[in-house]
Structure 1
């Protein structure tokens, strides 16, 4: 049997449209609704495992949606750490650091935010997690995680060039399916 991964991005948070990596912001009411909508055609018993990021914007929903014996927490699927930019809005960053922000989005491998996790470290962390998932599971696994995590997992699974990493940032509450992942 092969591995199927479904990745659910958390919904909107009380912090609005900030760069949230290590900053732990809970979901707002719309965020809860988005996540329920993302899984509206699913039930917890359809999954062989349900794995959540430790951030409350993922874990609070996971605990409410899945029963405890199906749920595990995986620190490696926490969002990218934006360093000094963590918790700031795009508007704030554009006002304060327009060139640095532009360089980051054009080449995050060479121009990470000050004090941020390096992009190679982020990839290594998620690749290690993906390798463990492929080794440990067959069947259907749900990851409740973050936009950056989904972009990197997609890149790893589909073997995309790193230049395509952020071409399609997932919407809040969106569900992403990857079937028949190579074991």
Structure 2
């Protein structure tokens, strides 16, 4: 028996579905969550729904997720067109959070609280060590390695090697 979704469940699902709204329609509502993929697929008639496969990152782990959207919920233009063609890699502009990680430093709290303007904090890495560009925040996958520098009066990084996260998006540019 499906249970009603809690306000927390609804907020989490809304955050997941909001970026998908341009594709699947803004009027999406959730009726429930089914964790058995075979059962979820069995309650929709073949050809009457679209399956969207996602990878959800939470708590440092990737979780597979499938979203079944019935044709009745799709905007008329999408439902009448049939299956959408594969999106091009250079499709609409997406915003991605990138973090440049120079080094991780552990220190006693007493040393941290004694830092003052002008103090030097040794990072413990060689000056020519590449900076890691992480996709999705501090615990994200390495998207690239880069050398730190400047362009004009701004800090910059020059990509020296693509990481696994970028190679997975476009294997033609591996390296």
- Structure 1 length as normaliser, TM-score? 0.21
Q: Which has the higher contact order (CA 8 A, sep 6+)?
A: 1
- Structure 2 length as normaliser, TM-score? 0.22
Greater percentage in helix:
1
